[in-house]
Amino acid sequence: MTATITNPLRVGLRQERVIAPQCLVIFGASGDLTHRKLVPALFELFQQRRLPSEFALLGCARRPWSDEEFRSKMAEAMGDKVRDHPEAWEQFAAGMFYEPVDLQKPEDVVKLGGRLQEIDRQRATRSNRTFYLSVSPKFYAGGCRALADAGLLKDPQRSRVVIEKPFGRDYGSAQSLNRVVQGCGQENQIFRIDHYLGKETVQNIMVMRFANAIFEPIWNRNYISSVQITASETVGVEERAGYYETSGALRDMVQNHLTQMLAITAMETPGRFDPEAIRSEKAKVLQAARLADELEPWNCCIRGQYGPGGSDGAPLSGYRQEPGVDPHSTTETYVAMKLFIDNWRWQGVPFYVRTGKRLAKRLSEVVLTFREAPVHLFDAAGGSPTANQLILRIQPDEGAEFKFEVKSPGSGMRSRPVEMEFSYDESFGEPSDEGYVRLLADAMLSDPTLFTRSDEVEAAWRLYTPLLELIEDSPWKLPIHPYESRTWGPAAADALLARDGLLWRRP
Amino acid sequence: MSPQLTLQTPLELPPSEVPNYLNQLWSRDQANSIGAHTFCLLIWQPAWVEQQLVRTGRIEGPIMGVQRDEVEEAGRKAVLELDLPLSTPPLGSSVSNSLAKVDGSKTSDDLRGQHVDEALSTLRPRRLITLAPSLDSSRPLETLVAAYCPLPEEGGGTVACGDVVVLRGGTEALQEGLNTLQPLLPDDLPSWVWWNGPLDESPELLEKLSIAPRRLILDSALGNPSYCLNLLATRLASGQAVNDLNWLRLGSWHQTLAMVFDPPHRRDALSHVVQLDIDVEGDHPVQGLLLASWIADRLGWTLKETHGHDAKTGDSSISAMFQRPDGTEVPLRVSPVPMGQPSIHPGQIVGLRMISKPEHGGAMCVILCAESGGCMRLEAGGMASMELVEEVVPLLHTHVEADMARLLEGGHDSSNPLLAAAAPLAAKLLT
């Protein structure tokens, strides 16, 4: 991001919606997500003056902290963000409270109700509450039940529950969890969060598609030959080995983040910009999606696991050598697969999806490759003309890029590819909000547009069921291909595309 | 969007019985009485032009008090027939004042307050109270009441109902009827007062209606410019929540100018502005002054001096000199421009030119112009060597009811801080 002065004419022009007075209750307040993402996002909203003065944050966890301990631990964890704005933090922290709660103990949750009433009186939060379940997934169902039993979800207008990923482990468990949470409250009270949807650039896919007349007519099988969706990380498993060993890349990234990017890229045009209209279109496209070969999934899916790599000076250990990882682990840290969407718009267009840890670059992007011109009138500098590509860069270097052929300067008539660029940095010069800033605000505003609905989650799990069953029942049919750290993944993934005469984009 | 009628025929009641009747209507022990828990809107709805157009037989009526094409077209024809300047806004005071001198005694049903524009009804107001002054100043007070349920076009959803109350009569009779208003505005709901007429036409009534904590919505394009800006500045300074529809309509100018300077490489130019020119439609400079004041406030300029209209030369421009934080002077000129097809809103901006000369780097000229005109006048003279940025500002051709709905939808329960900073400065530019 370019260091630059703020545009003084931009200040105050953003039309932000008004968050109603309320108390945000975070379960799992002693956890990593709370101090890494949630409290910083709330502090950001506070500094942007988007939180009402009648706002309170109540942290809940099993640890016997006091209000003051909670405030100081958060301040310590947030480091410079607090040190740079001490006065703002002091004001914000005055609305922070803590209550020791074990969600499995009904008496704790009843006691929580009393504390919330006390906060309502103290901070004028008007019994309006958002409950954020940032706890282990095994407590989602019990947590919702405990809140409902204590009468805390009774008023659908004034109570809502935010549930972190993963929502279920497979299709069956997602269905069961949906049944439980829908028994505790109405669907419009449930906010299943996927922080990728909070990213400005993911939302921009919708704006690019539906606010410009030039894209939608060609956004289909007649003009697009393939789509690649990539989310690559350079980091390894770090301190998340315990969780990652039970999840793997398929559950951790593909079923949620990548599938959401796929849904937004491939969905039909909603009739209007309305939460239900958008979520219905996303659900429909996921219901029409399938693995390229459902009967023999090993033909369309590659699993990989990073091995050692790096250089002599900075060696990188392999996944199996990471602390907390089983030395014989068969958990995948890389997945690449090919999907089809059986509808009128996308029939026959392959969607290639890949994600992995310890890859060569950190990036997320969607690449739409267009069909070649039917007749080649000109010689191309590269032998044959490069297919047009529209690249939507989600992160980093957020923006978009369009590749097309132009005349190469000179007396002949040779063509060569060039790029037309849009960069958020160059056009706006200001960083976009963290995904959690947008999503927390939306949840408190009861706006579910960027949250996944029950049928979307189930459709996403159902899409990968053949793979999950195969991994469960016959893992040897979907072997783990080792790859060197900081490379672009196993060679088998390249072969997956090579069979179709294609290459993964190497940005 | 077509206006929606109340579902009941309005019931005429003596003013003293209205509160009891409404209380009974929404009492909790009555089945199916779902009153929307939203907001109350009290509207001063004179519709002088519409009333005069009906009286002189230029339109048939009924009088609805809603800005609609038929009234606008008849207003434009009246401008030509009455030999008014072409830049005269078709629904402005000049038209109603001129029509008042024309003979005529046609009458029509008066349905003001009984038709609710769909833009407003979708917001499900709990109570709409309309004060409808009649041309006949001796007309006694009539009070009408009706329950009202907006039905979503697409069906479904929860129907939350409200009610409409209409106070109709001569201005004096309406003043007497004000006592009935307070009990009609429940304490637990926010109340807005929308003064939908010239701000200087009945200052005493405006004062009485818009007592805090009621929130005031006005249109600083209606009424004497100095009066409008002073009222706006005074009300904002008092801490009352005030929203200005004229400021709301400036939104696309704010956004477009800010957009020009979003790319970081242009930001430096903002610190080196050397000239600002703004063109406005006709002779109502308030919107132009508010835009200039917003720019000055955001860029940290201080006002050094102002020059009003020059009667000797006939120049009706407003000139002022600002000083940048680095001491450099920046001249401002707000100029009236005649328009053949003026907007229904007086004094809309038609163009802006901002010239900037950074110390290190080329000079830059930003020209914004409205769709309704061109940039020709502002493009004239001496900018061949500058980087030229030209943008056409998209204008929303909306009626005032749609502007109101936009404002209410945004949940603006306090004054816009940018307006609060700009209005006092704009008022000074006119003194």
Interface A-B, measured as beta-carbon pairs within 8 A, has a size of 50
Give the pLDDT mean for B315-337.
Answer: 93
Contact yes or no for B245/B419 (Cβ under 8 A): no
What ipTM, to 2 d.p.?
Answer: 0.86
* Amino acid A206: pLDDT: 95
Take residue B190 and report the two structure tokens written for it.
């926010």
What is the average pLDDT score of chain B? 86
Strand partners, A395: A364
Domain ranges of chain A: 22-164, 197-433+453-498
- B421, pLDDT greater than 80: yes
The two three-digit tokens of residue B26, written as one number: 């929404």
CB A38 within 8 A of CB A132: yes
- pLDDT at residue B153 is higher than 60: no
- Res. B1 pLDDT band, cuts 50 70 90: very low
Q: How far apart are CA B293 and CA B275, in angstroms?
A: 14
Of the candidates A72, A58, A479, the one whose C-alpha atom is nearest the C-alpha of residue A302 is: A479
Nearest to B284 by CA among B423, B94, B48, B43: B94
Of B261, B411, B413, the CB nearest to A9: B261
Q: Is the pLDDT of residue B151 over 70?
A: no
Residue A85, H or E segment: none
Sign of CA dihedral B73, B74, B79, B81: positive
A13: nearest CB among B255, B263, B299? B255
Which segments of chain A have a pLDDT < 50?
A: 1-3
Q: Which chain A residues are Cβ-neighbours of B270 within 8 angstroms? A: 7-9
What CA–CA distance (Å, rounded) separates A137 from A146? 15
Would you state the pLDDT for residue A310?
85
- Please report the pLDDT score of residue B405 as a whole number: 82
What pLDDT score was predicted for residue A364? 96
Min Cα distance A426 → chain B (Å) is 5
Tell if the CB–CB gap between A427 and B298 is shorter than 8 Å.
Answer: no
A425 with A397: CB under 8 angstroms? yes
pLDDT score recorded for residue A505: 93
Q: Residue A396: is the preceding peptide bond cis (ω within 30°)? A: yes
Superfamily in which the A197-433+453-498 domain is placed by CATH: Dihydrodipicolinate Reductase; domain 2 (3.30.360.10)
**Residues with Cβ < 8 Å from A214, sequence gap 6 or more?**
none
Among B2-16, B43-57, B75-89, where is mean pLDDT lowest?
B2-16
Nearest C-alpha of chain A: how many angstroms from B259?
A: 8
Q: What architecture (CATH level 2) is domain A22-164? A: 3-Layer(aba) Sandwich (3.40)
Best mean pLDDT range from B174-178, B195-199, B368-372: B195-199
Higher pLDDT, B160 or B219: B219
- DSSP-derived letter for residue B156 is -
Query: B188, B270, B298: which to substitute to probe chain A, counting the most A Cβ within 10 Å?
Result: B298
* pLDDT band of B2, cuts 50, 70, 90: very low
Coil, strand, or helix at residue A84? coil
pLDDT at B27: 66
Q: Kindly report, residue by residue over B223-241, the tens digit of the pLDDT.
A: 999 999 999 999 999 988 8
From B255, B299, B417, residue closest to A8, measured CB to CB: B299
Q: Which residue of B has its CA nearest to A18?
A: B411
- Identify the CA nearest to B358 among candidates B377, B386, B378: B386
Between B189 and A467, name the one with better pLDDT. Answer: A467
Using DSSP's 3-state secondary structure scheme, residue A317 falls into coil
Q: Could you tell me what percent of chain B has a pLDDT over 90? A: 47
Q: What is the pLDDT of residue B292?
A: 97
Q: What distance in Å separates residue B410's CA from the closest CA in chain A?
A: 7
- Cα distance between residue B254 and residue B288, in whole Å: 12
Most confident region among A55-64, A118-127, B112-121, B313-322 by mean pLDDT: A55-64
Residue B176 is predicted with a pLDDT of 84
- pLDDT for residue B401 is more than 90: no
A22-164 and A197-433+453-498: identical CATH topology: no
Q: Is the dihedral of CA A57, A58, A62, A64 positive or negative?
A: positive
E-strand stretches of B111-182: 115-116, 127-133, 142-148, 162-169
Give one word for B96, left, alpha or beta, with left for phi > 0 and alpha for psi -120 to 50: alpha
Contact B264 A18 (CB under 8 A): no
Min mean pLDDT across A274-278, B60-64, B79-83, B183-187 is at: B183-187
Q: Which domains does chain B have, with CATH numbers?
A: 4-247 (no CATH), 251-393 (3.30.360)
Cβ within 8 Å, pair A429-B263? yes
Q: Which two tokens stand for residue B44?
A: 């001063």
Taking an 8 Å cut-off on Cβ atoms, the answer to whether A12 and B263 are in contact is no
pLDDT(B313) > 80: no
- Does A257 qualify as catalytic in the annotation? yes
Taking CA–CA distances from B295, the nearest residue in chain A reads A9
pLDDT for res A256:
94
Q: In this complex, do A429 and B264 lie within 8 Å of one another by their Cβ atoms?
A: yes
Active-site annotation holder among A35, A85, A195, A257: A257
Q: What is the pLDDT of residue B413?
A: 65
Would you state the pLDDT for residue A63?
A: 95
- The shortest CB-CB distance from A9 to any of B298, B410, B417 is to B298
Q: Is the pLDDT score of B3 beyond 50?
A: no
